[in-house]
Every structure is written in structure tokens, then in C-alpha cells.
Amino acid sequence: MIQHKPNKRQINLYINQITNFMKKIKKSLISIVLQSNSLLMGENTKYILIFGLSISFVFYSVFIYRQPIARVLTEDSEIVMAGKMIWQQKNCGACHQIYGLGGFLGPDLTNVYSTKGKGPVYIQAFIKGGTAVMPSFNLQEQEVKALLEYLRHIDASGKSDPKLFNINYDGTIERQ
Ligand code: HEC
């Protein structure tokens, strides 16, 4: 069997054809880009657009960075912070959860302040007296008050019981 080997002249011809073809494509691409550019918008429109976008970017950035990142504590923040300190020192979180985080010997206390049949007096009774499982901490009146303020503050920050929420089709949740 004789193998057909292209000679040099033929190879050159091929290469020429291919480069010509590429040149044509390049030419038509450039003309398309140039045309669409001049058809879609003039130079001025482009500058106005870029200027507008830059201004919006700056304004939006300033707007976003001026939003408070966290809920600002209200004027009672000092006593609330004192209550939080006692919560940590007495390690209430070893047995109780807030928003589901903490120990599981006792119940979640996120909304104990506003729960029907519970509330400040009920909470005080537990803190002062303790139970068979929960120690009584022999706290001073001021400390009990601070703890109550802390629990009131936590309660006002939201609801924690997952059973009270419905899951929407898009994954967001809503209070029942
Ligand atoms: C050693 C574990 C333990 C520690 C520490 C503890 N508790 Fe408790 N607490 C319990 C248990 C358990 C109960 C549930 C009542 C029971 O079974 O005796 C409870 C009940 C309560 C209740 C009533 C909750 C409800 O919904 O009925 C409150 C309020 C409470 N504790 C507050 C506190 C505070 C405030 C602290 C910290 C100063 C604290 N507890 C520390 C174990 C603990």
C-alpha cells in the first residue's frame, strides 16, 4: 500500500487557506464589536453610565457600613450586663440553654420571662430557693434583680422554641 505523503507545496497551501480563513473571522468579529458598540451607546453615554455606577457604589457602600451590625443595648444595659456576668459566674449555662445553647439538665430559659404561668416571680422563686436538682445560689437582692433583667433582655430579643416555627417552601422560617 502506498502512503500518500503531502509535499511541501501542498502543506503551504493548506496553511495559507487556514490563515486566510482566520483573518476573515477576525475581521468580521472586529466589525461586529465596533458596530454594536456604536449602535448601543455613544462615548458620552458610556461615561455617564460608569459615573452613575461609581456614585451608586460609593453611596451604597457608605449606606451599608453605617448600618448597625448588632442590636444596640438599651439604656438598661449596665444592669443587663451585670446579670450576664452573674449568669456566667454561677454557670447557669451548664444546666440551662439560651436559644438552645447550653447544658440540658434544666429547661431552655430564652423565653421563660414571657411564658404564661412563669415570669419574674416564678424565676425568682427558682433562683432564691433552688430545687432538688438546681442549687440555690444565695444571691443578694441586687444580683437576683440583675439576673431577672438579663433574662428579660434575652426574652425580648426573640423566640427560641423551634416548635413555634413553620418552615416555608424556600427554607425560610416563620412564626406560627
Ligand atoms: C446544676 C444544674 C443547674 C444550674 C447550675 C442552674 N439550674 Fe436552674 N434549673 C435546673 C433544673 C434541673 C431545673 C428544672 C427544675 C427541676 O427539675 O428542679 C431548673 C429550673 C430553673 C428555672 C425554672 C425554668 C422553667 O421554665 O420552669 C429557672 C428560671 C432557673 N432554673 C434559673 C437558673 C439560673 C438563673 C441559674 C444560674 C444562677 C440556674 N438556674 C442554674 C438546674 C440548674
Q: Would 92 be classed as within a structural domain?
A: yes
- What are the residues facing 165 on neighbouring strands? 175
Measured on CA atoms in the order 28, 29, 33, 34, is the torsion positive or negative?
negative
With a 6 A CB cut-off, is 98 part of the ligand 1 pocket? no
With beta carbons less than 8 A apart as the criterion, state whether 94 and 134 touch: no
How far from 57 is each of 41, 44, 47, 84, CA to CA, in Å? 22, 20, 15, 40
Measured on CA atoms in the order 132, 138, 139, 140, is the torsion positive or negative?
positive
One digit per residue, the tens of pLDDT, for the chain of length 176 reads 555 666 888 888 888 999 999 999 999 888 877 776 665 667 788 888 899 999 999 999 999 888 776 666 566 689 999 999 999 999 999 999 999 999 999 999 999 999 999 999 999 999 999 999 999 999 999 999 999 999 999 998 888 888 888 888 888 888 77
Q: Would 83 be classed as within a structural domain?
A: yes
With a 6 A CB cut-off, is 137 part of the ligand 1 pocket? yes
Please tell me the distance between residue 90's alpha carbon and the centre of ligand 1 in angstroms.
Answer: 11
Q: Would 113 be classed as within a structural domain?
A: yes
- Residue numbers of the domain that contains 51: 8-65
With a 6 A CB cut-off, is 156 part of the ligand 1 pocket? no
Supply the pLDDT for residue 28. 87
With a 6 A CB cut-off, is 123 part of the ligand 1 pocket? yes
89 lies in the same domain as 157: yes
37 lies in the same domain as 92: no
61 lies in the same domain as 88: no
Q: pTM value? A: 0.65
Structure-derived torsion over alpha carbons of residues 20, 26, 27, 30, reported in degrees to the nearest 10? 180
* N-terminal to C-terminal alpha carbon distance within the chain: 85
What is the distance between the alpha carbons of residues 159 and 165, in angstroms, rounded to a whole number?
9
Please tell me the distance between residue 83's alpha carbon and the centre of ligand 1 in angstroms.
Answer: 15
Supply the pLDDT for residue 74. 61
| Ligand 1 nearest-atom number relative to CA 122 | 29
Supply the pLDDT for residue 136. 92
104 lies in the same domain as 171: yes
Structure-derived torsion over alpha carbons of residues 28, 33, 36, 41, reported in degrees to the nearest 10? -160
83 lies in the same domain as 170: yes
54 lies in the same domain as 90: no
With a 6 A CB cut-off, is 144 part of the ligand 1 pocket? no
Between CA 47 and CA 57, with CA 53 as vertex, the angle to 5 degrees is 145
**Phi and psi dihedrals of 66, rounded to 5?**
-90, -5
100 lies in the same domain as 52: no
Supply the pLDDT for residue 38. 61
Please tell me the distance between residue 112's alpha carbon and the centre of ligand 1 in angstroms.
Answer: 11
